[in-house]
Amino acid sequence: MSNENNSIHEFDFSLICEYFSSLERQGPGSPEATLKARSFIDNLTNQSRIADLGCGTGGQTMILARNAPGQITGIDLFPGFIHLFNRNAECLHLQNRVKGIIGSMDKLPFQQEELDLIWSEGAIYNIGFEFGLNTWKQYLKSGGYLAVSEVSWFTSERPDEINDFWMDAYPQIDTIPNKVALMQKAGYIPVATFILPENCWTEHFYAPQAKAQEEFLKKHAGNKAAEELVASERHEMQLYHTYKDYYGYVFYIGKKI
Ligand code: SAH
């Protein structure tokens, strides 16, 4: 689901869910990257309230939960992901602190200034980085943190093919300094940014997909939508291998003033 390509909306919704449900992660990332982002957040206690928005099946949420105190609410639009999320929390005996609920990140069920931390890996693009930062701020306490990962340009110029791909898929993609400026404008102190290492894409996102794709195609043999979904993911992977010097995911950590 790192693919913000519009064409993905043409695919059968349930097929997309099935495809990504078989993966531990639905976007690029890794336990190490989650822990690194967590290391910049210093205000958490057992009373803390944390939200993971666009949590998927909770790969990163469970890492966070094992390394941070407080209550965590995961929110995702897809019921199938939330079902798996809650099952994962139970398997890890985290169900008393970690709960997944179905909902949309643009209609959050929180009180004003209720949260100490908003977490969101590879998901804010669904409502747009700037809109997300502005909308979510009201739910954070003063001094609360925001940690989001977002696809970003590494250079001020890049080859047309990759530029065109992302302009079509997610026109809000921008350079790191421009994203940081948006964060500052929205009222957050930019605490840290770091580029997710390549293995967050290759080892933790694309390699598990390659295996899942074979089984998925076998199960849906002859299904055009399923074949197109896999072809689209493979194309995105190929683009990443060719153009990874020009873009990637970046973690942005900010503190609400
Ligand atoms: N954070 C997870 C999943 C990233 S994929 C990870 O890093 O692995 C993006 C997720 O956003 C998907 O699980 C998708 O179902 C969810 N999503 C899409 N639109 C949403 C919305 N409006 N509100 C909440 N979740 C949404």
pLDDT digits (tens, 9 = 90+) for 146-192: 999 999 999 999 999 999 999 999 999 999 999 999 999 999 999 99
Task: Please report the atom of ligand 1 found closest to the CA of residue 78.
Answer: 15
Q: Is the pLDDT of residue 1 over 70?
A: no
Q: What is the mean pLDDT of residues 217-246?
A: 95
Q: Percent of the chain beyond pLDDT 70?
A: 96
Do residues 16 and 78 touch, judged by C-beta distance below 8 A? no
pLDDT at 4: 46
For atom 16 of ligand 1, the residue with the nearest CA is: 54
Task: Please report the atom of ligand 1 found closest to the CA of residue 106.
Answer: 22
Tell me which of 22, 77, 205 to substitute to probe ligand 1's pocket, judged by most ligand atoms within 8 Å of the beta carbon.
Answer: 77
For atom 20 of ligand 1, the residue with the nearest CA is: 77
Residues with C-beta less than 6 Å from any ligand 1 atom = 1, 25-27, 29, 54-56, 59-60, 75-78, 81, 104-106, 121-123, 126
Q: What is the mean pLDDT of residues 116-134?
A: 98
CB atoms within 10 A of CB 243: 18
pLDDT at 3: 47
Task: Please report the atom of ligand 1 found closest to the CA of residue 2.
Answer: 5
pLDDT at 211: 86
Per the prediction, the chain carries an average pLDDT of 94
Q: Rounded to the nearest whole angstrom, what is the distance from the C-alpha of residue 123 to the centroid of ligand 1?
A: 5
Task: Please report the atom of ligand 1 found closest to the CA of residue 28.
Answer: 7
Task: Please report the atom of ligand 1 found closest to the CA of residue 52.
Answer: 1
Q: Percent of the chain beyond pLDDT 90?
A: 91
Amino acid at 6: N
Q: Encoding tokens for residue 75?
A: 């929110």
pTM of full prediction above 0.85: yes
pLDDT at 99: 98
For atom 22 of ligand 1, the residue with the nearest CA is: 104
Phi, psi of 73 (to 5 degrees): -110, 120
Q: Is the pLDDT of residue 9 over 90?
A: no
Q: With bands split at pLDDT 50, 70 and 90, how would you rate the model's confidence at 13?
A: confident
User: What digits encode the pLDDT tens for the residues 15-70?
Assistant: 988 999 888 889 999 999 999 999 999 989 999 999 999 999 999 999 999 999 99
pLDDT at 55: 98
Q: Is the pLDDT of residue 107 over 50?
A: yes
DSSP assignments along 145-194, one per residue: EEEEEEEEESSS---HHHHHHHHHH-TT--BHHHHHHHHHHTTEEEEEEE
- What's the rounded Cα separation, in Å, for the pair 49 and 69? 9
Do residues 29 and 249 touch, judged by C-beta distance below 8 A? yes
For residue 81, the SS3 value is helix
Q: Is the pLDDT of residue 2 over 70?
A: no
pLDDT at 10: 53
Do residues 153 and 173 touch, judged by C-beta distance below 8 A? yes
For atom 19 of ligand 1, the residue with the nearest CA is: 126
Task: Please report the atom of ligand 1 found closest to the CA of residue 25.
Answer: 8
Tell me which of 8, 78, 81, 84 to substitute to probe ligand 1's pocket, judged by most ligand atoms within 8 Å of the beta carbon.
Answer: 78
